[in-house]
Chains A and B, each alone.
Chain A
Amino acid sequence: MKLFISRFSVMCRLGMSEEEVIDAFRQEKFPELEMTEGYLPGGVKVPLGRVNVPFTPSGSGPSRNDEMISQAVSQIADVITEAKKRFTAERVGAVIGTSNLAVSEVEQNIVANSASPRQLCYDARLSRIGDLSGIFRKMTGCGGPVYTVATACSSSARAFISAARLIEAGICDAVVVAGTDTLSRIAVAGFESLGVLSLEPCLPFHRSRSGMNIGEGTAMCVLSHEMLGDRSTMLMGYGASSDGYHISSPEPTGTYAAIAMKDALKAAGLKSSDIGYVCLHGTGTKLNDGMEAKAVAKVFPDVPASSIKHLTGHTLGASGIINEFICSLVARGEISLPFHPYDSTDVDPVIDDFNLVTEPDTAAGRPYTVSNSFAFGGNNAVLVTGPCRD
């Protein structure tokens, strides 16, 4: 399987466009996560990977989530238009990955508009995940299938799998793939309640790691069997599995994550030794990083690997496509490998040994990449990307 991935639109802590993210990597200047009040009780500040899009009072205009999607659509409007022109709008679909459909504005206005916490007053359709597909259809003009995939933190990686199948099955010629999630108190307070939120900048795979930081983001691209514009890469394969273990903890041996990685490699027709970089899920929690280290040590023991969660925060439903975006930049040779800025002796000695990138490095000579996404409910999705070959 080889499908073309167009250039990306992207908004995350690293930058508000593909160009800004590339610049950040080339200059090695990464905006720090912002210590923010108002997401946990008692005035506690948490580091958040905020994006520079203002909050809109509920009901006074498009939601922040809609605004981010609208901006992302405009960044690749020419590619979407070209797809519709080349194949007709009816042959262009869209699959959107999201996990919480940002209830930010809703949260901000609950107290103001509700008589009491026991009697909420807001239109809950604002936070109904399925309604995103209708909004997206209007924004893009896609006339083919348009739907939302919501498998928590693997949502937008899974959106690639659904999109690829729509094309492979001959239902669509091109599919817009998107991922989006914005900051919400539910997510921050929810992860805090599970004891996996770090109040300091996160340190994935570090011996002293204490959990994750939450971020937000939106990213988008067009998948097609034909190349649509410049700066393309190729989706070579994918793999997916279910842990069948626990609703919020990963299966600790990494067995099913490793199966998804092996299946993705097999589908791509590649060997582990062909891979130059693995973009890890790497949230910074004890359990995820321990599990992922075991799985990567089984399948990619020598391949340079790193997470970007310390740079973006965990963007939840958008993290899969943002990982895939980073992999595409690596496959195109646009950036060096993301690395963890701590001494290699500080890598957690308890986790299984693999080639974690802790200093500037490149994927020299091996341009194929792998991106990992794992989620609540044990939903695992792995994508393999390579350089463009017409």
Chain B
Amino acid sequence: MIFSFGMEGALGLSPELPERSDWEKWAASGRPFPESDGRISSPDIPMMLSRRLLPGDRAAVEVLLHLQKDADLVPDFVVFASRHGELLRSVTMLSSLADDGTVSPTEFSNSVQNTPAAYYSMVSGNHAESVSLSSGDDIVTMALTEASAAIMSGDAKCCGLVFYENPVSNAIMEIPRDGPSYGTFAAGFLLRKGSSFRIASSLTDTMDPVQLMRYILTGGDGDVAA
């Protein structure tokens, strides 16, 4: 399958790469992604809401808000994609259950995979439909498929697609890794019908979200590479 989109914007955010220019330099350098679970600045999210979010969720919401402001476009369909989602909250809640059999209401409310989608909608006031998606190593292909299906079926004119991850371990438990980990990050794209960005699923099958971003920032758009 060949994915074909009009690319209206691409933006990444991580603790070590807080600016667009940082991502461009990193992409061009060929260096490994600078993994970090440090702080994420989120000036566009009200502090009362921001403090309830895990750092990767915060990055995901911030990236989409930035993208739509930069492109002056409001997506009518939003996809948030993550392998681990709110796994860290599950660990925290399991610990609490083992401790005294209770769960914090705030922790529980924010433990759903669609937490970033919910906060994006609250902050932006965009009431468009959203979906939160998960998969394994093939998450890039699956999320592009979901976005592509919405656009090709005519249901969406502009899709905001955001990949994000939260830290996968905390003090309670070291979670085994079975692939590369990038710590906290979000990588977002604004997509429309078009052909300014084309890529084969045979290529995205071997990519994680960070590699997809590097591919796009280094001029991979237009290169189908079937």
Residues on A facing B (Cβ under 8 Å): 40-42, 99, 103, 106-107, 110-111, 114, 117-125, 127-134, 145-152, 158, 161-162, 164-166, 168-171, 185-186, 189-194, 240-248, 256, 259-260, 375-379, 381
Contact = CB atoms under 8 A, between A and B. Distances in A.
A125 B113 contact: no
B161 to A, nearest CB: 13
Contact of A169 (B95, B124, B153): B153
17 contacts: A120-B94, A122-B173, A124-B173, A127-B90, A128-B134, A150-B114, A151-B114, A158-B131, A162-B149, A168-B152, A186-B94, A189-B102, A193-B103, A194-B105, A242-B128, A247-B115, A379-B118
A119 B150 CA distance: 43
Given A41-B100, A171-B1, A242-B118, 11 more contacts: A40-B101, A124-B175, A128-B85, A147-B135, A152-B114, A166-B145, A168-B149, A168-B154, A171-B152, A190-B105, A377-B112
A152 B172 contact: no
B20 interface: no
A381 B43 CA distance: 31
A189 B84 CA distance: 22
A298 B129 CA distance: 20
A351 B83 CA distance: 40
Contacts of B10: none
A335 to B, nearest CB: 30
A265 to B, nearest CB: 16
B42 interface: no
Contacts of B90: 103, 124, 127, 186
B126 A118 contact: no
Contact of B94 (A106, A168, A241): A106
Most buried by A among B125, B151, B152: B152
B70 interface: no
A19 to B, nearest CB: 33
Contact of B132 (A123, A134, A150, A189): A150
A119 B114 CA distance: 27
B127 A243 contact: yes
Nearest to A44: B101
B98 A111 contact: yes
Interface of B: 1, 52, 82-85, 87, 90-91, 93-105, 108-115, 117-119, 121-122, 124-136, 139, 141-143, 145-146, 148-155, 168, 171-173, 175-176, 178
A189 B125 CA distance: 31
Contact of A193 (B102, B126, B173): B102
B127 A128 contact: no
Given A165-B153, A247-B109, A150 B85 contact: yes
Contacts, number: 224
Contacts of B85: 128-130, 150
Contacts of B102: 41, 189, 193
Q: Which 6 A-B pairs have the closest CB atoms?
A: A377-B118, A41-B101, A190-B108, A130-B134, A240-B129, A150-B113
A244 B127 contact: yes
Given A152-B112, A190-B93, A247-B110, A166 B149 contact: yes
B84 A193 contact: no
A259 B135 CA distance: 30
Contacts of A123: 176
A26 B177 CA distance: 51
A130 B83 contact: yes
A249 B139 CA distance: 30
A125 B173 CA distance: 12
Contacts of B125: 244
Nearest to A132: B134
Given A128-B87, A170-B152, A193 B127 contact: no
B134 A114 contact: no
Nearest to A187: B108
A120 B99 CA distance: 11
Contacts of B111: 186, 190
B122 A110 contact: no
Could you say which of B115, B121, B143 has the most chain A C-beta atoms within 10 Å of its C-beta? B121
Contacts of B104: 193
A193 B108 CA distance: 8
A164 B152 CA distance: 12
A241 B118 CA distance: 11
Given A165-B155, A186-B108, A120 B97 contact: no
A134 B179 CA distance: 15
A178 to B, nearest CB: 14
A110 B94 contact: yes
A119 B169 CA distance: 12
A152 B85 CA distance: 12
A244 B122 contact: yes
B96 to A, nearest CB: 8
Contact of A246 (B122, B127, B143, B171): B122
B149 A379 contact: no
A165 B159 CA distance: 14
A69 to B, nearest CB: 16
A169 B136 contact: no
Contacts of B84: 128, 130
